[in-house]
Amino acid sequence: MQTIGAWLWDNRKSLITTALFGALLELLFFFPVYLTWWLVGLTIILLVGVWWLASFTRAWRRWWWLWAEAIWVVVGGLGLVVFSLLNMWQFQAITLGIVLVLLALLHTYDKYLQTGSWSVKSFSLLSFLDLVAFFAAGAAILTATDFYNLDPAWLMLAYLGQVILAANLRFWREEVVSVRKWFYVLVTAVVVEELLWVIASWHRGVYLKSFLLAMIFYVFLDFILHYSRGTLTIKVVVEYASLVAFLLVAIFVFDWLLILQ
């Protein structure tokens, strides 16, 4: 009991923030007419909770990226909720998933803010969460564009913001702080935006297109990181090319079978 009590006390900031967030998230399903107010409340909870993790320091550079990443991850999860016809149990399952992901994110950043360094386990977890967020938020952006019949320029701008955020988060954790970082971000944004322009008009499902864009983004960003560290060898290129080929075949076979059904 003492061990459990000590763990709860040490992680009280993450647990309380997540509990408040989950409680307000429940109101989305039961009172959807106040959707805008609930979203504002969720944003405020994340802002105060993240600032609390950083002990309310005025050195906002220490916690600003965490708040941006938390908002990004939540937007991806809420996109699944807002643009899907969900019954009670489906909503609860997705809500539980969002809450657990947010708790893991806050817990990981809490350790970083205390120690000032990333562990290998934390780095791997955050990279995976960012990949899922890129996919989910991308699907939400594509769905919202079709649902509201928005101009394609809004789609391009929203995706551009996601690319800039995701790239900067990765460079920040990789400790790439040179001026060339912004050149790498610009190149990545141009590549993804060009591919988005082509893929967006493709007559395929939103989730397939979002998956392809997420995969292309992270493979391209990994190439840039290997290049910046001088580790981009033929072996690395072949490994990534093989992985991309396998994933492309798998996702197209899955999409083909799903359409046949």
Using alpha carbons, select from 64, 257, 94 the residue that is nearest to residue 165.
64
What's the CA gap between 230 and 232, in Å, rounded?
6
* Sites in the chain below the pLDDT cut of 70: 1, 85-86, 254-261
Which pLDDT belongs to residue 84? 73
pTM, rounded to two decimals: 0.86
What's the CA gap between 45 and 153, in Å, rounded?
31
Q: What is the pLDDT of residues 162-196, one digit of tens each?
A: 999 999 998 888 877 777 888 889 999 999 999 89
Which pLDDT belongs to residue 55? 87
What's the CA gap between 227 and 229, in Å, rounded?
5
Which pLDDT belongs to residue 34? 86
Phi-psi region of 92 (alpha: psi -120 to 50; beta: other; left: phi over 0): alpha
The mean of the pLDDT values for the chain is: 85
Token pair of 38 as six digits: 């609930």
What's the CA gap between 59 and 144, in Å, rounded?
35
What's the CA gap between 111 and 119, in Å, rounded?
9
Token pair of 142 as six digits: 């594509």
What's the CA gap between 42 and 24, in Å, rounded?
7
DSSP reduced 3-state for 203: coil
Token pair of 88 as six digits: 């009670």
Domain positions in the chain are 1-115, 118-261
What's the CA gap between 255 and 219, in Å, rounded?
21
